[in-house]
């Protein structure tokens, strides 16, 4: 008889996913978006897992967003047929995406320059391969994209694509600057800025005779705080299904909503330093310290007991490759009594970065310690 796997028996460190919290987080965003006339195209880059993807998507075939070719290939193999590759397209990516397109997966790519449009159009014409295209709009100066009121560049890009198998479908944007905010009002304003930018760019193209079927916006913060989506046809978000401490610091969720954690074991103490040592270092948690620029610095992560209950002010304050150092947020207070062998869970700063350190999810439900599923993740580009 196979021994039942639980959080008390599996190896540590391990990546734990609370499916109850995942379902609640997904429902929360979908319920919010249900009041708007928009479709939902979740970003699958955090999960990199077909089982989680199917929970996030509105149908088993999509629509979906990815950020690597590996994601596109893996999710296509899992039956997803409507995929937006939401990273600026480069010639070295064409062939792998074309293989997916020829095998029946609808591929849409993103670009933001005339040169990219000209090169892609030439490739699609020469290879008789059709891609959808969205022009990326820079709504907040965070990263890449055409300025929303740059009608000359927008029209020039559209003109390069016109009449070719690289079909202009519309425009997209990502309000990355929202990750630097921390109040509800600021996030509402970011969402409105995002909407105005992408909808305005679509208006310019429509008036120039280039219809925009898709007007795509979204980030996890702005998707939750949008109050008006007039002119937008679809919303994208990714980390919303798991959440993390960065999202909690922004004010999108509470630490108790974070569905992802790393199971670890106490392996020693340094009492004179007020340290507890565990077997999850930066190889298990990642080097990400994204909360260090927020109002509350959570170190490498917040410590919970094995059931997921948060210990007040107990953090992973430092990390070596395979050692984590736990201590109190301040010198005041007393460390909890956690003997060698005690199992704990660490909530991550950045779900994407922490998940990327692990090959699989050990799936649990609520406070139950039983592992009910083991879901594989994939790696690479």
Contact 25, 354 (CB under 8 A): no
Spell out the per-residue pLDDT of the chain, length 381, in tens. Answer: 467 999 999 999 999 999 999 999 999 999 999 999 999 999 999 999 999 999 999 999 999 999 999 999 999 999 999 999 999 999 999 999 999 999 999 999 999 999 999 999 999 999 999 999 999 999 999 899 999 999 999 999 999 999 999 999 999 999 999 999 999 999 999 999 999 999 999 999 999 999 999 999 999 999 999 999 999 999 999 999 999 999 999 999 999 999 999 999 999 999 999 999 999 999 999 999 999 999 999 999 999 999 999 999 999 999 999 999 999 998 677 899 999 999 999 999 999 999 999 999 999 999 999 999 999 999 999
Report the pLDDT value the prediction gives residue 2, as an integer from 0 to 100.
61
Query: From CA 181, how far away is CA 374, in angstroms rounded?
Result: 35
Contact 261, 348 (CB under 8 A): yes
**Cis bond leading into 63, ω under 30°?**
yes
Contact 238, 210 (CB under 8 A): no
Contact 89, 110 (CB under 8 A): yes
| 101, HSE (Cβ side, Cα atoms, 13 Å) | 20
Report the pLDDT value the prediction gives residue 94, as an integer from 0 to 100.
98
Report the pLDDT value the prediction gives residue 265, as an integer from 0 to 100.
98
CB neighbours of residue 285 within 10 Å: 26
Same fold, 20-242 and 255-376: no
Considering Cα of 41, then 221, then 318, then 326, what sign does the dihedral take? negative
- Domain range list for the chain: 20-242, 255-376
What's this model's pTM, rounded to 2 decimal places? 0.96
> Considering the domain 20-242 in this protein, what is its CATH number?
3.20.20.10
Sheet holding 106-111, edge to edge: 39-40, 234-235, 214-217, 166-173, 131-137, 106-111, 82-88, 64-66
- Here the tokens at position 372 are 């009910």
Query: From CA 22, how far away is CA 75, in angstroms rounded?
Result: 19
Contact 111, 136 (CB under 8 A): yes
Assigned CATH topology for domain 255-376:
Lyase, Ornithine Decarboxylase; Chain A, domain 1 (2.40.37)
């Amino acid at each position: 008889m196979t021994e039942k796997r639980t959080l008390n028996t599996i190896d540590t460190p391990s990546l734990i996913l609370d499916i109850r919290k995942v379902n609640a987080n997904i429902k929360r965003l979908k319920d919010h978006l249900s009041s708007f006339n928009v479709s939902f195209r979740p970003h699958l880059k955090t999960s990199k897992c077909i089982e989680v993807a199917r929970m996030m998507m509105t149908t088993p075939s999509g629509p979906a967003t990815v950020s690597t070719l590996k994601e596109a290939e893996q999710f296509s193999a899992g039956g997803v047929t409507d995929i937006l590759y939401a990273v600026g397209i480069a010639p070295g990516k064409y062939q792998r995406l074309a293989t997916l397109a020829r095998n029946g997966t609808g591929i849409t790519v993103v670009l933001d320059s005339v040169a990219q449009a000209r090169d892609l159009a030439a490739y699609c014409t020469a290879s008789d391969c059709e891609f959808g295209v969205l022009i990326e709009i820079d709504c907040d100066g965070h990263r890449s994209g055409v300025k929303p009121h740059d009608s000359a560049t927008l029209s020039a890009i559209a003109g390069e694509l016109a009449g070719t198998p690289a079909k202009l479908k519309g425009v997209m944007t990502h309000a990355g600057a929202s990750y630097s905010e921390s109040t509800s009002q600021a996030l509402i304003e970011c969402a409105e800025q995002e909407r105005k930018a992408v909808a305005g760019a679509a208006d310019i193209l429509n008036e120039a005779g280039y219809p925009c079927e898709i007007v795509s916006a979204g980030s996890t913060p702005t998707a939750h705080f949008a109050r008006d989506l007039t002119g937008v046809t679809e919303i994208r978000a990714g980390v919303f299904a798991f959440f993390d401490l960065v999202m909690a610091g922004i004010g999108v969720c509470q630490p108790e909503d974070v569905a992802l954690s790393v199971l670890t074991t106490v392996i020693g103490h340094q009492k004179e330093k007020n340290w507890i040592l565990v077997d999850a270092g930066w190889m298990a948690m990642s080097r990400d310290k994204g909360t260090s620029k927020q109002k509350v610095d959570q170190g490498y992560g917040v410590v919970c007991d094995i059931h997921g209950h948060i210990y007040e002010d107990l953090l992973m304050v430092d990390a070596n490759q395979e050692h984590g150092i736990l201590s109190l947020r301040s010198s005041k207070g007393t460390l909890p009594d956690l003997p060698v062998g005690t199992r704990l869970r660490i909530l991550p700063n950045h779900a994407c970065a922490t998940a990327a350190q692990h090959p699989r999810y050990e799936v649990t439900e609520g406070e139950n310690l039983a592992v009910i599923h083991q879901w594989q993740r994939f790696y690479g580009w």
